[in-house]
């Protein structure tokens, strides 16, 4: 069970974070959430699609594998892509309310995460108590994630209202005897996109949605990279 506590430079002055990725950290998944703000960077490494969350709502995701529990970007506990989605980059940290002031958002840390230790990895605080560049970056990641939640939902709402989201199915020939079907995901309906009026396109452009849509379409070229990764494991 996670044990989240408010991060501070007194109780946690000696803590370090080991770089490690894998099942014990929840990374053995075939997709992870991504947000419009990171679409430009993510599209260079991952196919970007929509999936439905447990509540049935659409979520923008980066595809990491072709079956449940498969992440083809992890090898020897290392993440084999130069850009990691924000939900991965944040590591064992999360943003939460300050105990003494509910209006203040602060960094919390999962003390039960096995990456937390006092011997190796990235130090969180400097010897005199100041923040390291590492934790400053984590703070930026968490702030970006927090600010992205509403923007993501609004992006989904506008795409849905214009019927831009369509079901996506892909048959992957892994070898001469095996074909795998990727289903349960959604992508941008290019025919509908081309049929939008000038005013509808302008509205998407105003909100920054058009760039995200084009990044999603461009990211589909990464499917061939993912297929090569899959075949290399067979």
| Tens-place pLDDT, residues 167-223 | 999 998 877 777 888 999 999 999 999 999 999 999 999 999 999 999 999 999 999
Angle between helices 198-206 and 209-219 (to 10 degrees): 90
Mean pLDDT of 149-168: 97
Question: How much is the mean pLDDT over the chain?
Answer: 94
Instruction: Look at residue 100 in the predicted model and tell me its pLDDT.
Output: 62
Q: What is the mean pLDDT of residues 118-136?
A: 95
Catalogue the long-range contacts made by 80-86 (C-beta closer than 8 Å, 24 or more residues apart). 81/45, 81/46, 82/45, 83/41, 83/42, 83/44, 83/45, 85/32, 85/33, 85/34, 85/38, 85/42, 85/46, 86/34, 86/35, 86/38, 86/141, 86/144, 86/145, 86/148
Q: Provide the number of structural domains found in the chain.
A: 1
**What does the DSSP 8-state code read for residue 208?**
T
Looking at residue 103, what is its pLDDT? 63
Q: Which domain holds residue 40?
A: 4-233
Contacts of 202 (CB under 8 A, 6+ apart): none
pLDDT tens, 28-51?
999 999 999 999 999 999 999 999
Query: How confident is the model over 52-109, as pLDDT tens digits?
Result: 999 999 999 999 999 999 999 999 999 999 999 999 999 999 998 766 666 678 999 9
Q: Which residue did the predictor score with more confidence, 231 or 135?
A: 135
Say what the pLDDT of residue 175 is.
Answer: 75
């Amino acid at each position: 069970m996670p044990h989240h506590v408010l991060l501070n430079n007194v109780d946690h002055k000696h803590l370090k974070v080991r770089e490690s990725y894998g099942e014990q950290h929840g990374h053995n998944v075939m997709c992870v959430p991504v947000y419009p703000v990171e679409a430009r960077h993510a599209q260079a490494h991952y196919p970007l699609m929509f999936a439905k969350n447990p509540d049935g709502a659409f979520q923008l995701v980066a595809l990491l594998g072709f079956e449940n529990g498969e992440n083809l970007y992890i090898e020897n506990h290392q993440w084999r892509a130069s850009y990691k989605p924000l939900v991965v980059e944040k590591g064992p940290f999360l943003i939460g309310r300050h105990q003494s002031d509910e209006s203040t958002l602060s960094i919390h840390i999962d003390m039960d995460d096995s990456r937390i230790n006092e011997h190796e990895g990235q130090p969180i605080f400097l010897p005199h108590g100041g923040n390291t560049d590492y934790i400053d970056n984590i703070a930026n990641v968490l702030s970006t994630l927090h600010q992205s939640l509403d923007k993501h939902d609004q992006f989904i709402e506008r795409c849905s209202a214009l019927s831009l989201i369509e079901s996506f199915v892909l048959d992957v020939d892994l070898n001469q005897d095996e074909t795998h079907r990727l289903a349960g995901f959604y992508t941008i309906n290019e025919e509908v996109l081309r049929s939008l009026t000038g005013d509808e396109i302008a509205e998407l452009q105003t909100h920054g949605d058009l760039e995200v849509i084009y990044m999603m379409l461009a990211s589909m070229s990464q499917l061939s990279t993912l297929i090569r990764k899959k075949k290399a494991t067979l």
